[in-house]
Structures are given as structure tokens and as C-alpha cells.
């Protein structure tokens, strides 16, 4: 590395202004990238980082472009360390912009949406199909995952990602439980989640749900069966469809 920098500085001194103009152009002119692109920068040295960016067409190819990039990294090292992460590079990013991104940009976050009304098996399948996650997905307990959109770094393990969705659900459920209207037919949090799931499956119209809830609670109070299709369907499929 020191030899490379020494050589480049020597060339700069020998070549005078013409070399300086070329180096400055290589540092500031737009790069070859034709569209915004996410690139995974692996752990390694400066050369491996540059080669990764050249392979992704973020930086120009060739040894001259590589040496200019190495020199620019050395001369701007006071601006911070380069980071290994999945980063987003805008189209036509200059070397100057690329180095700023490598030092200061936030890693790319990937969205994972858990819709309402899914069974544990269906949620497990969503995690398994998320290509940016790694590892196996444990089968979650029914009703333990908060339905919403989450954001994860690439290579987050599926077990950790699932745990974060369950933690979100636990916090939400605790808040709802503490502020609930006490009803003897709903003795615990598990019963609350189960009843809410049945109501959600029974009707997709939000305005109808309070009425459906009252019907179910009245049936529970009277000691009769709920007589709702979702319980039958779940019993036949175990939530796999």
C-alpha cells in the first residue's frame, strides 16, 4: 500500500499539472453506474473493496482507476474508516461520493411485511421466502407475531428477525391488556389474542367486528359453542392453509 501511494505521489510530482487534473477528474467526475444499485461490501482491505465496486460497475474498471481510488482513500483517510455493509450507490456516483457513502451512509434495510390474519405456518413461510435473511425459521406460537412491516439488515438470522416481531407483539399485547375493559369471558392474554383472531377471520369489515365480538362473548357467557367457521377450518388444516 505505501509503495503504491509513493508511486502515485511521485507521478503527480513528475507529471505536474496534467497529472493533477487527471487525478482530480477521476475523483470528481460521474462514475459508470447507470442506475441506483445496492452493493454488498464484504470485509477485506482497500483493494478488495475497490474490486467489489468495479465488479458492480460503481467505479471504472482498470488499474489506473484502482490506483486513483487507492490514492483518494489515503488522502481522505482523516474523513473516517470505510465500512463493510450493504450500501446503496446512486447512478453516476463519483469516486468522491462513493467514498462518502462507504464512510457515512446507513446500510440498506430490507422490508418484510407480516399481513394480518396469518397462521404460524404462513408466517414461517414468509420468513423462509425472505432471501436477505439467513438460517432456519422456528415455527412461532400462534398469535405471537405482530402484523406490520419490519426492516432488517441483510444476513440477519431468521430466528433473530422472528424474535423481534414477537417482542413487538408482546409489547403491544401488554399495553392492550393493561388498558382493557375487564371481561370475565377473557381471562388472560392468550384468550384475548385467540378471540381477536377469530373475530378477524369472521369478518373483514372493521365496523362489524365489535358486533361479532359481542356475539362471541355472549356465547361464551352462555356456555355454548362459538359456531364460527374459522375454528372448524383451523381444526381441519392446523393453520397450514
- pLDDT for 113-159, tens place per residue? 999 888 999 999 999 999 999 999 999 999 999 999 999 999 999 99
| Percentage of residues of the chain with pLDDT beyond 90 | 57
Tell me, what DSSP letter sits at residue 206?
Answer: G
pLDDT at 228: 67
Alpha carbons 77 and 83: distance in angstroms, whole number: 12
The residue ranking higher by pLDDT, 16 or 143, is 143
Under DSSP, is residue 63 helix (H, G, I), strand (E, B) or coil? Answer: helix
Backbone CA torsion sign across 207, 212, 213, 218: positive
| Percentage of residues of the chain with pLDDT beyond 70 | 82
Within a 10 A sphere around the Cβ of 195, how many other Cβ atoms? 19
Alpha carbons 201 and 213: distance in angstroms, whole number: 12
Phi and psi torsions of 86, nearest 5°: -90, 120
Res 234 pLDDT > 60: no
pLDDT at 192: 81
pLDDT at 22: 74
Alpha carbons 222 and 216: distance in angstroms, whole number: 10
pLDDT at 69: 94
Alpha carbons 107 and 85: distance in angstroms, whole number: 6
pLDDT at 150: 98
pTM (2 d.p.): 0.77
pLDDT at 126: 98
Pure H helices in the chain? 2-15, 17-28, 46-55, 63-75, 95-104, 120-128, 158-178, 189-202, 209-222, 229-237
Alpha carbons 205 and 198: distance in angstroms, whole number: 13
Res 94 pLDDT > 90: yes
Reference 159, options 123, 141, 133; nearest CA is: 133
Alpha carbons 100 and 198: distance in angstroms, whole number: 51
Per-residue pLDDT tens over the stretch 102-113? 999 999 999 999
Rounded average pLDDT over 212-223: 72
Amino acid at each position: 500500500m505505501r509503495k503504491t501511494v509513493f508511486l502515485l505521489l511521485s507521478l503527480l510530482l513528475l507529471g505536474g499539472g496534467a497529472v493533477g487534473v487527471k487525478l482530480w477528474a477521476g475523483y470528481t467526475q460521474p462514475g459508470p453506474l447507470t442506475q441506483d444499485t445496492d452493493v454488498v461490501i464484504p470485509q477485506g482491505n482497500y483493494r478488495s473493496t475497490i474490486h467489489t465496486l468495479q465488479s458492480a460497475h460503481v467505479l471504472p474498471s482498470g488499474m489506473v482507476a484502482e490506483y486513483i481510488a487507492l490514492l483518494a482513500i489515503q488522502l481522505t483517510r482523516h474523513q473516517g474508516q470505510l465500512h463493510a455493509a450493504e450500501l446503496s450507490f446512486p447512478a453516476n456516483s463519483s469516486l468522491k461520493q462513493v467514498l462518502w457513502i462507504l464512510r457515512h451512509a446507513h446500510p440498506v434495510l430490507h422490508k418484510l411485511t407480516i399481513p394480518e390474519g396469518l397462521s404460524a405456518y404462513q408466517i414461517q413461510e414468509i420468513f423462509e421466502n425472505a432471501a436477505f435473511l439467513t438460517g432456519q425459521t422456528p415455527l412461532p406460537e400462534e398469535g405471537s407475531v405482530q402484523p406490520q412491516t419490519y426492516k432488517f439488515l441483510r444476513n440477519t438470522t431468521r430466528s433473530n428477525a422472528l424474535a423481534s416481531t414477537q417482542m413487538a407483539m408482546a409489547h403491544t399485547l401488554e399495553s392492550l391488556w393493561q388498558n382493557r375493559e375487564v371481561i370475565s369471558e377473557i381471562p388472560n392474554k392468550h384468550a384475548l389474542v385467540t378471540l381477536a383472531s377469530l373475530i378477524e377471520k369472521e369478518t373483514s369489515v372493521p365496523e362489524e367486528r365489535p358486533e361479532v365480538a359481542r356475539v362471541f362473548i355472549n356465547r361464551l357467557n352462555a356456555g355454548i359453542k362459538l359456531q364460527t367457521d374459522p375454528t372448524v377450518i383451523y381444526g381441519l388444516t392446523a393453520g397450514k392453509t
